Amino acid sequence: MPKRRDIETILVIGSGPIVIGQAAEFDYAGTQACLALKEEGYKVILVNSNPATIMTDTEIADKVYMEPLTFEFVARIIRKERPDAILPTLGGQTGLNLAVQLAKAGVLEECGVEILGTKLEAIEKAEDRKQFRALMNELGEPVPESAIVHSLEEAYEFVQQIGYPVIVRPAFTLGGTGGGICTNEEELIDIVSTGLKMSPVHQCLLERSIAGYKEIEYEVMRDANDNAIVVCNMENIDPVGIHTGDSIVVAPSQTLSDREYQLLRNASLNIIRALGIEGGCNVQLALDPDSFRYYVIEVNPRVSRSSALASKATGYPIAKLAAKIAVGLTLDEMINPVTGKTYACFEPTLDYVVTKIPRFPFDKFESANRRLGTQMKATGEVMAIGRTFEESLLKAVRSLEIGVHHLELKDVNTAADDVIEKRIRKAGDERLFYIAEALRRGVSVETLHEWSQIDRFFLHKLENIIKMETVVQSHPGDLEVLKKAKALGFSDAAVANLWNKTERDIYELRRQEGIVPVYKMVDTCAAEFTSETPYYYSTYEEENESIVTEKQSVIVLGSGPIRIGQGIEFDYATVHCVWAIKQAGYEAIIINNNPETVSTDFSTSDKLYFEPLTAEDVMHVIELEQPVGVIVQFGGQTAINLAAELEARGVRLLGTTLEDLDRAEDRDKFEQVLSELGIPKPAGKTAVSVEEAVAIAEEIGYPVLVRPSYVLGGRAMEIVYGQEELLHYMEHAVRVNPQHPVLIDRYITGKEVEVDAISDGETVVIPGIMEHIERAGVHSGDSIAVYPPQTLSADVIEKIVDYTVKLARGLRIVGLLNIQFVISDSDVYVLEVNPRSSRTVPFLSKITGVPMANLATKAILGAKLAEMGYETGVCPTREGVFVKVPVFSFAKLRNVDISLGPEMKSTGEVIGKDMTFEKALYKGLVASGIHIQPHGAVLLTVADKDKAEAIDLARRFVEIGYQILATNGTAATLKAAGLPVTVVNKIHSASPNILDVIRQGKAQVVINTLTKGKQPESDGFRIRREAVENGIPCLTSLDTARAMLQVVESMTFSTTAMTEGLVRS
Amino acid sequence: MKRQLILEDGSFFVGEAFGSLKETTGEVVFNTGMTGYQEILTDPSYCGQIVTMTYPLIGNYGINRDDFEAICPYVHGFIVKEACSIPSNWRGEMTLDAYLKEKDIPGLAGVDTRKLTRLIRQHGTLKGMICGLDVHPAEAAAKLRAMEWPRDQVKRVSTKSAYPSPGRGERVVLIDFGMKHGILRELNKRHCDVIVLPYNATAEDVLSWHPDGVMLSNGPGDPKDVPEAIEMIRGILGKVPLFGICLGHQLFALACGANTEKLKFGHRGSNHPVKDLRTGKVAITSQNHGYAVTHESLVGTHLEVTHVALNDGTIEGLRHLDFPAFTVQYHPEASPGPEDANSLFDEFLTLIREFSKKGEVIHA
């Protein structure tokens, strides 16, 4: 069927900020879709509030709106732009929910906007539990017994009928937010109450638990002509009970016979046809391991995380084709972009095994509940490809960047047997490693199956790996054994460990003996057709298919899995780096392992190697490709961390040299640089022992900022106010020794400012300066950043520019650098310099129009910024105000303290832009999910040190008509200042206490600066968690509160009584 | 134990032996299905062939009692990247290795099957031999090149005598050229009263059973090697509704005056898109064929192309313009593979019913 000519303009809704359950995969999908629609000649209007995305680049859509993804703003854009159609299936749950809202409110009808892809009716049939069940019954597709409940009473009723365990799934929530499995009454009360609150329609589905069934997913596509295909099926190694986003997943399914495969395939196609979806759809099924019985668990009538994974696992670009289907094209008339010869209407077949392992944020959130269940907790994922299951799994394991290179995790080998059993029975994020350890201790596959319900197939494969360890160990130097181990995916580090050699020894031995991997192509068709796709993975076999071209090439290292501190921003810069390399006339080669990203779209680079980012795996590619050099600046700390090892192996790093990278990152060298340049920094020293740390802190005076060196995202960074606290920190948070020094700095209270700059060694271009709302001490990634600076004097700005230029030149930066300053009075101190692309590069690039990653790449490749029309100094300020507001995923992570501090906690960010600061911030806050109420009540509980400051804040709230609620201490202060305050009881007092106030929605904002820390039992902690769980904005920095107040004030007309007596007197 | 696969072009692949250790020769083909190895092993159409699976992990769910497509396998060899030694599936009863040992079929594991597949794709299907490492590749290759290929596969795999598979519905005579059980199963599912006849049944034999319809099964090899079947089809055409699958389709085309040719490396797998030219819809089909009916040979025949392979345009379905007869090159009975085209069996029954009604009118 030809594409539709009756529509010209299409509005695409993005997915907004990165949160747990909705990550970079939607940038990948959205970018593909926008480009696909443009390719077909449509005018594309995009709305997305996430500045860190490729899709919001102005090259991707015809018009880009970076506005909040709320009904009000999107409706306004629709009324203004009058698009002919809207494509809501590429923006995750956010996009879908918005479309439903817009349709129900009549906006789409009013403006004559058609929904493309999946019709409203289908969205509702798939998403509304009741309608979904009715449809499944109609189709004869089995669903587990269930009930839809709107209250706890209804939940009781259901459980009385079918008994425990039951699964709770709140309706219309992201990544299963608020759901869980209940095995007893206590859990039922807890989870159902939360679930009802989380669900925008106050509805939960309770269903019989089918935990232990095989969880199988099918990614299906259908066009308007009713052609329907399966792109990929996937099997979760973790059986039903753990969210698929948190499960280790393999593609294709491994333990299904053809009959089972076809049974579930038929069901999936049946469903997509019945829903009438035109595009992609994800069907999750549960299959009884002991019969043909199966249940349909869930259907996502849109592209999803799983479809991104399926696209990367097969090469088949689901989002791109889904977009084309949405405008009327059919699968049988579109060419399969991978082969370039065959048609898109076929089912990809794999000749390799794909493993996906989720990446969890628990390294950041020590207190978080690590138990996995139906609510997703992972922030990102890695994927690996191999020709054996073992190879694919072990490659994925070492891609995780959690300090493991094999199925060995720190401290697991010393765990007691009963702990091992517990960790396997109750799945947490580290279960795989516990299973490996259990196998080493001789626990049988049968027992492990009983503990974990993981299919014996996978357990036997793990056993294979463990058995190979013994073989390797008992055959030191044996090349045949080495070959076998490599084919099973063993890293050099793992072999080195078993042979008591260094990783480098093993690598060199292999090189000498020719035991090196070959590269195979991912081509959707198992080599049945020739294919031009430059998408490769390594394996230890005979034939290499990756042909090195005549063209000079440059290798770019990606940033690996998305985690807190290293998000999509680094993929953004990586993609721009790749594009710039192409522009400069080189062949751009990328190595990365994150399936969610644009950088791992095979059409982004000239060649894509889907590989772990370890020295060994990267070296293999380098030795084959013989590039001009390697760029490590854009892949965050992942790539930077590889720099030294690569250079040691003779690789040429492009851009800032290793020596200079080290001068910026090594504390002592950096201090020397600063003193040479005459740039001040807060007093501080490096400690290599606990005693030394104490002495240094005494010397410079408390409070001090302590952190391990070489960290990203402020991991383990804390502000310490006294010696006792310092000792606790040294003991618990870090391992200090000469190899792992701890940095101790004076903590300066002041305004924080952040700058990104591009340098070619001579010209230093500063696109803009960003001022943080929160004072120093809150991690820059968690601060609200404002451009242009609102309160800095010309003098201060001059100093910042001067220091930046000096540092760029002094550190001999070629490429990007990021500097954080703290301003105290009018003194400017340097906090840190990151000699690489930073989190703010996409934000700053977009708002200033300076293509930072592109310029930096060209500078790295030898071009001069002056020749490209840039000069040293800060670029002219753009009109308007732009704010970057962090977004957190606290609702998904129980037991995590939400208070802001030096350690980064946010998962994503949004942009707010307008002509005034207040309007921009309003948009930023709204886009980040905060509801700003023009009136209501504010609940204040602040620490003693903040009380004076709180008075001013409270007064202004009173001024605009807010009611003030406060706990005793705070209330006393406020009362003394003459403010009207309602006292609320402390936590342990009788009801209604502070928690009740929050639960009952009596406060619209909570401001809490009490007892920060990681102890879940503290009062402050409970107050903050209660606010999060009830969806009430909770501000833990008075700076944020003040900024928000400023916004509310600006929304409110002043209501001042007439001044008395002026006339008469 | 290390053994090798030697190809007629002199290339060879060393791997780990499993299954039988006898020496074997055959035409080396590849199948791209990710599941369904048990059905593939027992599909008689693979008679005389050495099958390479492109999916690297084979045998994961073992061998079960249900999924056989014939009483015994006729495949000459089986080549995989990895043969699973500890399968896991509730129906699994034995390992792939044990099954191949029992049936005396040599297997070779640890082969770079992607390299082998690419070789076949570039050169077309090759003759090959699985043997010990003592055999010299160049000598074996020369021997392979000189080897005369057997032409009696159909005879070898077809039933030796007629047998019934009773039902209370339409009487269907099913000619077994190397029939997959799936075809019989689909007819039985529709209550057909099936009589299975050997490949060399004559038109008189067929008609003597007073069938309501005749089904021409799949089977191995070159359709031109079965002239007796072509003759039989000519004898029944127009007298009884016909439905042919795979080899049955090719034989039907030859009987109607069309021609067939050998494809470079054939279609073998579970993901082949086929377009129905009447509806414009595409079905994903299970395929296994090395020959195809040629487009140009249809000129002058009374055949109409109903289905084509989306990717290479080869003929996948035919219909007779004058008589109630249609055939497809692919496998609507699936097993293994997608069941998208399963309704063709219903179409066959509809055709039978319409024909019998017409018949009544004529006789009245």
Closest residue in B to A531 (Cα–Cα)? B118
Residue A595's pLDDT band, with cuts at 50, 70 and 90, is very high
Question: Given A258, A388, A526, which is nearest B35 (Cβ)?
Answer: A258
Q: How far apart are CA A919 and CA A9, in angstroms?
A: 29
User: How many Cβ pairs within 8 Å bridge chains A and B?
Assistant: 153
Element holding A724 (H helix, E strand): helix A723-732
Q: Of A888, A891, A936, A930, nearest to A912 (Cα)?
A: A930
- Among the partner residues A262, A347, A543, nearest to B115 by beta-carbon distance: A543
| Residues B274 and B129 occupy one common structural domain | no
Please give the average per-residue pLDDT across A51-71, as a whole number: 96
B54, B55, B282 ranked by CB distance to A345: nearest: B282
Q: Would the CB atoms of A258 and B36 count as touching at under 8 Å?
A: yes
pLDDT at B364: 37
Taking chain B, what is the end-to-end CA distance rounded to the nearest angstrom? Answer: 72
Q: Using the 8-state DSSP alphabet, how is residue A891 labeled?
A: G
pLDDT of residue A1011: 64
Does residue B142 sit in the same domain as residue B166? no
A150 and A256 inside one domain? no
Task: State whether A528 and B56 contact (CB < 8 Å).
Answer: no
Q: Is residue A392 domain-resident?
A: no
pLDDT in tens, A919-976: 999 999 999 999 888 889 999 999 888 899 999 999 999 999 999 999 888 999 999 9
> Could you say which of B57, B269, B334 has the minimum Cβ distance to residue A262?
B334
Does A457 lie at the interface with B, CB-CB under 8 angstroms? yes
Which of A254, A262, A520 lies closest to B339 in CB terms? A262
CA A631, CA A576: separation in Å to the nearest integer? 12
Residues B189 and B304 in one domain: yes
Q: CB-based contact (8 Å) between A388 and chain B?
A: yes
Query: What is the C-alpha to C-alpha distance for residues A166 and A560, in angstroms, rounded to an integer?
Result: 36
Torsion of CA A721, A722, A725, A726, to 10 degrees: 100
* Structure confidence at residue A477 (pLDDT): 96
Chain B residues in contact with A255 by the CB 8 A cut-off are 60-61, 88-89
- The pLDDT assigned to A1015 comes to 54
pLDDT for res A714:
57
Q: Are residues A259 and A164 in the same domain?
A: no
Residue B191, pLDDT > 70, answer: yes
Residues ≥6 apart with Cβ < 8 Å to B336: A258, A262, B33, B35, B36, B37, B38, B39, B40, B67, B270, B286
Q: State the CATH number of the domain containing residue B300.
A: 3.40.50.880
Closest CA to A41 of A324, A240, A235, A315: A324
**Stretch A87-113: mean pLDDT:** 94
| Record: contact A346-B310, CB cut-off 8 A | yes
Residue B34 to residue A541, Cβ atoms within 8 A: no
Six token digits for residue B320 = 């007779």
Candidates B96, B310, B331: best to mutate against A (most CBs of A within 10 A) is: B310
Q: How far is B294 from chain A (nearest CA, A)?
A: 20
Whether B30 and B6 share a structural domain: yes
Q: Which residues of B touch A385 (CB under 8 A)?
A: none
Are B192 and B141 in a shared domain?
no
Same domain? B141 vs B194: no
Whether B289 is catalytic is: no
Q: Which of A623-632, A987-996, A1018-1027 has the highest mean pLDDT?
A: A623-632
Is residue A176 very low, low, confident or very high in pLDDT (cuts 50, 70, 90)? Answer: low
**pLDDT 10s digits, B205-240:** 999 999 999 999 999 999 999 999 999 999 999 999
Is the distance from CB of A755 to CB of A821 less than 8 angstroms?
yes
Whether B38 and A257 lie within 8 Å, measured CB to CB: yes
**Is B282–A331 a contact, with Cβ atoms under 8 angstroms apart?**
yes
Whether residues A346 and B82 touch (CB distance < 8 A) is answered with no
Q: Over 50: is that where the pLDDT of A238 sits?
A: yes
pLDDT of A225 over the 60 cut: yes
In this predicted structure, the answer to whether residue A495 has a pLDDT above a threshold of 80 is: yes
Rounded to whole angstroms, the Cα distance separating B46 from B268 reads: 10
> Cβ separation of B338 and A347 shorter than 8 Å?
yes
Which chain A residue's Cα is nearest to B64? Answer: A257
Please judge whether B32 and A526 are an interchain contact, meaning their C-beta atoms are less than 8 angstroms apart: yes
pLDDT, tens digit (0-9, with 9 covering 90-100), for B56-73: 999 999 999 999 999 999
Contact B127, B48 (CB under 8 A): no
Give the start-end residues of each E strand in A432-495: none
Whether residues A205 and A220 share a domain: the answer is: no
Question: Does the pLDDT of residue A1060 top 80, yes or no?
Answer: no
pLDDT per residue over A853-892, tens digit each? 999 999 999 999 999 999 999 999 999 999 999 999 998 8
A319 vs A64: CA distance, rounded Å: 19
Q: Does one domain contain both B159 and B133?
A: no
Please answer yes or no on whether A349 and B56 come within 8 Å at the CB atom: no
Say whether both B16 and B137 belong to one domain: yes
Render pLDDT for B267-280 as a digit per residue (tens, 0 to 9): 999 999 999 999 99
A264 part of a folded domain: yes
Q: What is the mean pLDDT of residues A425-450?
A: 97
Q: Does residue A223 share a domain with residue A174?
A: no
Q: Which residues pair with B197 in a beta bridge?
A: B175
Q: In Å, how far is A429's CA from the nearest CA of chain B?
A: 25
- Which residues, in sequence order, are CB contacts of A305 under 8 Å at separation 6+? A21, A22, A23, A25, A245, A381, A596
- What is the number of structural domains in chain B? 2
What is the per-residue pLDDT for A1054?
73
Terminal Cα distance for chain A, rounded = 85
| CATH label of the domain that carries residue A981 | 3.40.50.1380
Answer yes or no: do B133 and B224 share one domain: no
Strands B242-245 and B213-216: parallel
Q: Pick from B146, B165, B184: which residue ends a domain? A: B146
Interface check for A611 against chain B (CB to CB < 8 A): the answer is no
Q: Are residues A617 and A691 in the same domain?
A: no
Mean of the pLDDT values across residues A440-469?
A: 98
pLDDT score of B363:
40
- CA dist A1035 and A973 (Å) reads 19
Confidence tier at A374 by pLDDT (50, 70, 90): confident
User: Within a domain: residue A828?
Assistant: no
Instruction: Kindly determine whether residue B115 and residue A252, on different chains, have CB atoms separated by under 8 Å.
Output: no
| CATH code of the domain containing A28 | 3.40.50.20
Cα A68 to Cα A56, A266, A569: the distances in Å are 13, 40, 19
In whole angstroms, give the CA distance from residue B150 to residue B225: 10
Task: Let me know if residue A163 belongs to a domain.
Answer: yes
* CATH number for position A294: 3.30.470.20
Q: Check pLDDT > 90 for residue A181.
A: no
Q: Residue A1065: pLDDT band by 50, 70, 90 thresholds?
A: very low
* % of chain A at pLDDT higher than 70: 98
What is the per-residue pLDDT for A169? Answer: 85
For A255-278, write each residue's pLDDT tens digit. Answer: 999 999 999 999 999 999 999 999
Q: What is the mean pLDDT of residues A394-416?
A: 95
Q: Are residues A648 and A712 in the same domain?
A: no
Residue A617 and residue A546 in one domain: yes
**DSSP one-letter string for A287-347:** E-TTSS-EEEEEEESS--HHHHHHHHHH---HHHHHHHHHTT--GGGSB-TTTSSSBSSS-
- How confident is the model at residue B361, as a pLDDT? 46
B32 at interface of A, judged by CB pairs closer than 8 A: yes
Of B54, B67, B270, the CB nearest to A351: B54
- Same domain? For B349 and B232 the reply is yes
Q: Which of A729, A744, A759 represents a domain boundary (last residue)?
A: A744
SS3 B130: strand
Of B38, B82, B271, the CB nearest to A347: B271
B343 touches chain A (CB under 8 A): no
Give me the catalytic one of B246, B289, B316, B320.
Answer: B246
Mutant choice from A314, A351, A389 vs B, greatest count of B C-beta within 10 A: A351
For chain A, the domain total comes to 6
Q: What is the CATH number of the domain that holds B18?
A: 3.50.30.20
- With a CB-CB cutoff of 8 Å, which residues 136-155 of chain B face chain A? none
B102 is catalytic: no
Last residue of some domain: B95, B118, B146?
B146
The 10 Å CB-count burial string (b at 16+, else e) for A893-930 is: bbebbbbbbbbbbbbbbbbbbbeebbbbbbbbbbbbbb
Confirm or reject contact between A265 and chain B (CB < 8 A): yes
In terms of domains, do A654 and A528 share one? yes
Q: Is some CB atom of chain A closer than 8 A to the CB atom of B89? A: yes
CB of A369 within 8 Å of a chain B CB? The answer is no
Residue of A nearest to B115 (CA): A543
Tell me the pLDDT tens digit for each residue of B282-317: 999 999 999 999 999 999 999 999 999 999 999 999
| E strands present in A52-101 | 63-65, 85-87
Residue A917 and residue A929: Cα distance in Å, rounded? Answer: 18
Q: Compute the nearest-CA separation of B120 from chain A (Å).
A: 9
Q: What tens digit of pLDDT does each residue of B146-163 get?
A: 998 889 999 999 999 999
Catalytic residue among B27, B170, B186, B333: B333
- Contact B112/A457, CB-based, under 8 Å? no
What value of ipTM does the predicted structure carry? Answer: 0.97
Residue A686 pLDDT grade (very low, low, confident, very high; cuts 50, 70, 90)? confident
- Is the CB of B55 less than 8 angstroms away from the CB of A529? no
Is the pLDDT reported for residue A745 higher than 70?
Answer: yes
The shortest C-alpha distance from A226 to chain B (Å) reads 7
Confidence of residue A479 (pLDDT cuts 50, 70, 90): very high
On chain A, the residues whose CB falls within 8 A of the CB of B310 are 332, 342-343, 345-346
The answer to whether position A1031 is within a domain reads yes
In this predicted model, what pLDDT tens digit does every residue of B334-356 receive, in sequence order? 999 999 999 999 999 999 999 98
Residue A998 tokens read as: 């929050």
CB-nearest partner of B114 from A261, A388, A520 = A520
**Is residue B333 flagged as an active site residue?**
yes
**Mean pLDDT, range A524-544, rounded to an integer:** 96
- Residue A532 pLDDT class (50, 70, 90 cuts): confident
**Are B254 and B196 within one domain?**
yes
**Best of B13, B37, B60, B276 to mutate (most A CBs within 10 Å, chain A):** B60
What is the pLDDT of chain A when averaged over all its residues?
A: 93
Are A605 and A635 in a shared domain? yes
Q: What is the mean pLDDT of chain B?
A: 96
Task: Give the pairing type, strands B303-309 and B315-320.
Answer: antiparallel
Q: What's the CATH code of the domain at A735?
A: 3.30.1490.20
* Nearest chain B Cα distance for residue A748, angstroms: 60
Based on the fold, state whether residues B138 and B158 are members of the same structural domain.
no
Q: Are residues A247 and A203 in the same domain?
A: no
Domain closes at, from A322, A348, A374: A348
Closest Cα in chain B, distance from residue A311 (Å): 17
Judge if A23 and A70 occupy the same domain: yes
Give a yes or no: residue A947 inside a domain. Answer: yes
Q: Last residue of some domain: B146, B162, B178?
A: B146
Binary contact (B270, A257; C-beta < 8 A): no
Range of the domain at A597: 519-659
Question: Which strands sit side by side in the sheet containing A607-610, from one edge to the other?
Answer: A518-521, A535-539, A607-610, A587-592, A553-557, A629-631, A653-654
Q: Residue type at B9?
A: D
The answer to whether position A734 is within a domain reads: yes
- Across A317-345, average pLDDT: 95
Q: Please check whether residue A457 lies inside any domain of the structure.
A: no
A368 contacts: CB under 8 Å, gap ≥ 6: A361, A362, A377, A893, A894, A895, A896
- B contact test, residue of A1, A253, A258 with most B CBs within 10 A: A258
Name the residue range of residue B56's domain: 2-146
Predicted confidence band at A179 (pLDDT cuts at 50, 70, 90)? confident
- Inter-chain residue contact B67 with A343, CB threshold 8 Å: no
Residues A645 and A710 placed together within one structural domain of the fold: no
CA distance B174 to chain A (A): 24
CA separation for the pair B322, B304 (Å, rounded): 10
Closest CA to A752 of A721, A796, A808, A710: A796
